[in-house]
């Protein structure tokens, strides 16, 4: 192998410049291929639900599920406003909306982990609605599938929140311009994608089939 | 002394240290959580080992510096790609450090792949010696189970890395690109395979496992601790597969040279596209299968154990949805190599170029529709059997296209009287892939499969497809591109010796495996009844395995010795039209110093006046 490297002194040869437009095209395609790949991850979990649960579902709090879903879907709206704002150069609107989207994502995450999963083993009621779930991970296939699907989705929500905070932090220091804001665009697409996954997971977990 | 310092400060060593530290941290974290709740943590407590393994991957990547640029991006720093060896170090140091050049990564993949193939082959020889005689001689049943399971997964990891080697090295060169589209992601794809291989091998050290490489539930739920590390290591390899296939698809889409239309791309590129489509998507489903198994063992969720209402057949569906198509990942680049080499040596155009190109995609797409043919005896819904039998037979159509093209390309070609080693390996590949192929429909047909399922016939069939579709083409590629990679020619005599030892030995092994299978030898068992009358064949199989092992060592010696002693090779010793052979060997850092343009068909060998690529005259400089 020493022969390869003997000749790699290339003072006169520079790395070919990849134009920004080409790199952007590559980035976009790469992101969409990644999302296409993730489709099979979520698809496999979705299939698992129908194989193991069939036409049944566990008893879950309809109110919490609906509220969490509404909050997550609205967060996508603010992420969209954020991306549009940076495209028009409105820096404060971009930052505020990004933060709002992350905050709503965080509320969704807390509702899943603290309320549905009830990791802190709390109990309580508000307006006669029970706030904390009863389904345990060990409750047969109902626990297994519920925790696997919500867990995998919550992991994506969590990573999305982290990504939004990264673009927010960099955005405050002027890292994005109307012409060059691939980071914002990528996170926005990822965030919408995670929302759309929930649009399929929510009915599969909360609405379809008979309660056992 | 200096060499030792370079070795010890390399990314490889740093990463391994980081992995050990990460593992210890992850293990202690779980132990600490338990201590806070007043629980004791027994030695090799499974959740702690599993969590430690996950953190150890992170530890490796951070310590080796694979994530360095990305971590800087997070805090808003811009980073430039570094080129060449680390400052003040000799050129070979590039290969044990994080490097983003696709040629360096290709060589890294190739070396790691050969090492893993040696380790996996060594496991095979150890348990083959046990099988040479009935009764148990020098292994226990548990050791035997661990060895054949590890043989399977280590070989598969080795093959995936070999595919990575071919794709990474060749595809950017063949499409006229300076590098892959995402060089850092490319380095990540390679480096993630090292800690995952370490984790799989650690699984053998902590008690082994007895599930085979398939890891079927519910056996995997009851297997020893090693199975968790096997599942996690397998799972982490998936990161490499997904990231590198994504990278490869983007590279081919956006980085092609001027004039390189889809139907002017070499068949290796087509094979890589088809393989990447499979890896990009199907890997996720096996990832789910492995994740759910680990969750069931470690976290107490229930998916596969019928006691809690789970379904073990579901595991098999999720598993084979990846693991059947993945054999096409193994063979498609290899079949591309056969199609690339034959026209060069026959001095004739490739017969039916467009059909061969599209047959790669055809194999990949049909490959997604056949997975349940592994499960005819599993107890799945009977209604699934016949459709899967027919879809399985359909694979023969695009594969047949490739075979007929190869034969028609050779027909009346000017093949050399004394074939050089790469061409010999291509001939070997075609003959072996043929026997591997024609033994397949017998397994795809339900009645015969019910008889042959779980017999040594399967072992014979599978090894023939892997040797014909991957191992022989991979070796052909190694010999063929060796002068381009190193700038030196390998020793032809040793190459021929390698081939003439390996081909007959393989035939003895494969025919032997199929025959003992027909006579009642079960696979994955350590012992058999001498009354079956298959002892002589078993001795022959074991001897053949040893010969194959020695012949591969000859190849490795050949490559190492030739890189030091042989004189410089010609730029284009084979007379190829492909653009990578028109530039100096070894290839410059950024491949094409003057950009190339594609003006003709790739495989028009022997046609007067036909041109494939030419360099574009550099535009007058403005500054």
Per-residue pLDDT of B300-336, as tens digits, reads 999 999 998 899 999 999 999 999 999 999 999 999 9
Instruction: Of B14, B126, B208, give the one whose Cα is nearest residue B545.
Output: B126
Residue A5 CA to chain centroid, in angstroms? 44
CATH assignment, B100-615: 1.20.210.10
- pLDDT averaged over chain A? 90
Mean pLDDT along residues B230-256: 95
Instruction: Report the CATH superfamily, name and number, of domain A60-211.
Output: Cytochrome c oxidase, subunit III, four-helix bundle (1.20.120.80)
| Residues A171/A144, Cβ–Cβ less than 8 Å | no
Which pLDDT does position B76 carry in this prediction?
87
Q: Which residues contact B103 (CB under 8 A, 6 or more apart)?
A: A4, B168, B169, B173, B485, B587, B591
Q: What's the pLDDT band for B621 if we cut at 50, 70, 90?
A: low
| Residues B446/B355, Cβ–Cβ less than 8 Å | no
Q: How many CB pairs under 8 A join A and B?
A: 159
- Residues from chain A that touch B317, judged by Cβ atoms under 8 A, are 51
- Residues from chain B that touch A4, judged by Cβ atoms under 8 A, are 91, 103, 107, 485-487, 586
Which pLDDT does position B620 carry in this prediction?
62
Is residue A8 predicted with pLDDT exceeding 60?
Answer: no
Which pLDDT does position A9 carry in this prediction?
45
Mean pLDDT along residues B263-281: 96
**Domain-by-domain residue ranges, chain B?**
1-88, 100-615
- Both tokens of B305, joined, read 């154990």
**Domain-by-domain residue ranges, chain A?**
60-211
pLDDT in tens, B561-611: 999 888 888 899 999 999 999 999 889 998 898 889 999 999 999 888 889
pLDDT in tens, B502-530: 999 999 999 999 999 999 999 999 999 99
| Residues A191/A101, Cβ–Cβ less than 8 Å | yes
Instruction: Of B228, B157, B163, give the one whose Cα is nearest residue B474.
Output: B163
Which pLDDT does position B85 carry in this prediction?
84
pLDDT in tens, B355-377: 999 999 999 999 999 999 999 99
Where would I find the H helices in chain A?
Answer: 2-6, 20-53, 62-87, 91-110, 140-172, 182-202
Is residue B618 predicted with pLDDT exceeding 90?
Answer: no
Count CA atoms within 13 Å of residue A152 on its CB side.
23
Would you tell me which residues 557-586 of chain B have a C-beta closer than 8 angstroms to some C-beta of chain A? 563, 586
Instruction: Of B494, B534, B530, B496, give the one whose Cα is nearest residue B514.
Output: B534
pLDDT in tens, B121-158: 999 999 999 999 999 999 999 999 999 999 999 999 99
- Residues from chain B that touch A149, judged by Cβ atoms under 8 A, are none
- Both tokens of A84, joined, read 């549009």
The kind and range of the H/E element at B598 are strand B596-598
Which pLDDT does position A13 carry in this prediction?
60
Is residue B259 predicted with pLDDT exceeding 60?
Answer: yes
Give the chain B residue whose CA is nearest to the CA of A148. B292
- Both tokens of A31, joined, read 């992101």
Residue B140, burial from CB neighbour count under 10 angstroms (0-12, 13-18, 19+): exposed
Residue, of A123 and B613, whose pLDDT is higher: B613
Mean pLDDT along residues A180-196: 96
Which pLDDT does position A3 carry in this prediction?
40
Residue A104 CA to chain centroid, in angstroms? 12
Mean pLDDT along residues B167-177: 95
Above pLDDT 70, what percent of chain A? Answer: 94
Residue A14, burial from CB neighbour count under 10 angstroms (0-12, 13-18, 19+): exposed
Q: Which residues contact B412 (CB under 8 A, 6 or more apart)?
A: B348
Which pLDDT does position B84 carry in this prediction?
84
Where would I find the H helices in B395-519?
Answer: 396-410, 421-438, 440-444, 446-452, 456-466, 472-486, 492-518
Here the ipTM equals 0.93
CB atoms A144 and B485 under 8 Å: no
β-bridge mates for residue B597, sequence order: B258, B614
pLDDT in tens, B439-476: 999 999 999 999 999 999 999 999 999 999 999 999 99
* Helices and strands counted in chain B (H then E): 23, 2
- Both tokens of B588, joined, read 């410059």
Note the pTM of the prediction, 2 decimals: 0.94
Residue A73, burial from CB neighbour count under 10 angstroms (0-12, 13-18, 19+): middle
Q: 3-state class of B310 per DSSP? A: coil
Which residue's entry shows tokens 């307006």?
Answer: A127
């Amino acid at each position: 192998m020493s022969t390869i490297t003997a000749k790699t002194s290339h003072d006169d040869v520079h790395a070919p410049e990849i134009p920004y437009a080409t790199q952007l095209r590559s980035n976009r395609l790469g992101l969409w291929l990644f999302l296409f790949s993730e489709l099979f991850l979520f698809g496999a979990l979705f299939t698992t639900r129908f194989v193991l649960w069939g036409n049944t579902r566990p008893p879950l709090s309809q109110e919490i599920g609906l509220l969490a879903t509404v909050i997550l879907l609205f967060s996508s709206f603010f992420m969209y406003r954020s991306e549009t704002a940076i495209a028009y150069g409105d820096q404060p609107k971009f930052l505020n909306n990004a933060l709002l989207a992350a905050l709503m994502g965080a509320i969704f995450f807390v509702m899943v982990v603290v309320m549905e999963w009830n990791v802190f083993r709390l109990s309580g009621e508000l307006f006669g609605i029970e706030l904390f779930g009863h389904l345990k991970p060990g409750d047969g296939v109902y626990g297994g599938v519920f925790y696997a699907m919500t867990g995998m989705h919550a992991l994506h929500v969590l990573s999305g929140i982290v990504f939004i905070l990264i673009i927010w932090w960099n955005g405050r220091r002027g890292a994005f311009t109307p012409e060059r804001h691939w980071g914002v665009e990528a996170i926005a697409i990822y965030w919408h994608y995670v929302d759309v996954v929930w649009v399929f997971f929510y009915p599969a977990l909360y609405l379809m089939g008979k309660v056992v | 002394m200096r060499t030792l310092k370079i070795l010890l400060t390399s990314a490889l060593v740093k990463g391994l240290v980081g992995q050990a530290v990460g593992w210890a941290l992850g293990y202690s974290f779980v132990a600490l959580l338990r201590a806070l709740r007043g629980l004791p943590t027994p030695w090799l407590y499974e959740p702690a080992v599993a969590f430690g393994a996950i953190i150890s991957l992170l530890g490796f990547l951070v310590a080796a510096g694979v994530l360095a640029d990305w971590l800087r991006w997070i805090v808003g720093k811009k980073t430039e790609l570094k080129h060449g060896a680390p400052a003040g170090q000799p050129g070979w140091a590039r290969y044990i450090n994080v490097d983003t050049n696709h040629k360096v990564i290709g060589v890294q993949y190739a070396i790691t792949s050969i090492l893993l193939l040696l380790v996996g082959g060594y496991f095979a020889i150890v348990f083959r010696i046990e099988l040479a005689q009935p009764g148990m001689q020098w292994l226990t049943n548990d050791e035997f189970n661990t060895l054949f399971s590890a043989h399977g997964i280590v070989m598969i990891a080795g093959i995936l890395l070999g595919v990575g080697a071919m794709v990474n090295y060749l595809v950017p060169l063949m499409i006229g690109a300076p590098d892959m589209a995402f060089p850092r992601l490319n380095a990540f794809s390679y480096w993630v395979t090292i800690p995952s291989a370490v984790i799989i091998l650690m699984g053998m050290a902590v008690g082994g496992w007895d599930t085979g490489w398939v890891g079927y539930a519910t056996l995997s739920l009851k297997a020893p601790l090693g199975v968790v590390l096997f599942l996690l290591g397998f799972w982490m390899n998936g990161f490499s597969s997904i990231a590198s296939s994504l990278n490869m698809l983007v590279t081919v889409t956006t980085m092609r040279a001027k004039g390189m239309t889809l139907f002017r791309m070499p068949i290796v590129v087509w094979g890589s596209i088809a393989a990447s489509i499979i890896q990009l998507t199907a890997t996720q489903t096996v990832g789910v299968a492995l994740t759910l198994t680990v969750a069931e063992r470690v976290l107490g969720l229930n998916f596969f154990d019928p006691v809690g209402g789970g379904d073990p057949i579901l595991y098999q569906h999720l598993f084979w949805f990846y693991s059947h198509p993945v054999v096409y990942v193994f063979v498609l680049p290899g079949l591309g190599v056969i199609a690339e080499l034959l026209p060069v040596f026959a001095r004739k155009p490739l017969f039916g170029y467009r059909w061969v190109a599209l047959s790669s995609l055809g194999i990949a797409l049909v490959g997604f529709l056949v997975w349940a043919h592994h499960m005819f005896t599993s107890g799945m819904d009977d209604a699934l059997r016949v459709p899967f039998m027919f879809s399985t037979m359909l694979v023969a159509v695009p594969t047949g296209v490739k075979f007929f093209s190869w034969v028609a390309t050779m027909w009346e070609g000017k093949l050399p009287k004394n074939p050089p080693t790469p061409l010999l390996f291509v001939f070997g590949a075609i003959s072996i892939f043929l026997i591997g192929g024609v033994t397949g429909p017998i397994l795809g047909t339900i009645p015969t499969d019910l008889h042959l399922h779980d017999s040594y016939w399967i072992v014979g069939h599978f090894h023939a497809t892997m040797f014909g579709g991957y191992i022989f083409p991979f070796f052909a590629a190694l010999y063929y591109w060796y002068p381009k990679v190193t700038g030196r020619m390998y020793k032809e005599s040793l190459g021929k010796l390698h081939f003439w030892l390996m081909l007959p030995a393989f035939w003895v092994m494969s025919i032997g495996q199929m025959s003992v299978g027909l006579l009642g030898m079960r696979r994955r068992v350590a012992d058999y009844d001498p009354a079956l009358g298959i002892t002589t064949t078993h001795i022959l199989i074991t001897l053949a395995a040893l010969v194959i092992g020695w012949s591969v060592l000859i190849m490795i010696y050949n490559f190492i010795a030739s890189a030091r002693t042989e004189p410089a090779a010609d730029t284009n010793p084979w007379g190829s039209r492909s653009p990578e052979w028109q530039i100096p060997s070894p290839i410059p850092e950024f491949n094409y110093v003057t950009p190339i343009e594609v003006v003709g068909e790739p495989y028009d060998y022997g046609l007067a006046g036909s041109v494939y690529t030419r360099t574009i005259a550099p535009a007058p400089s403005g500054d």
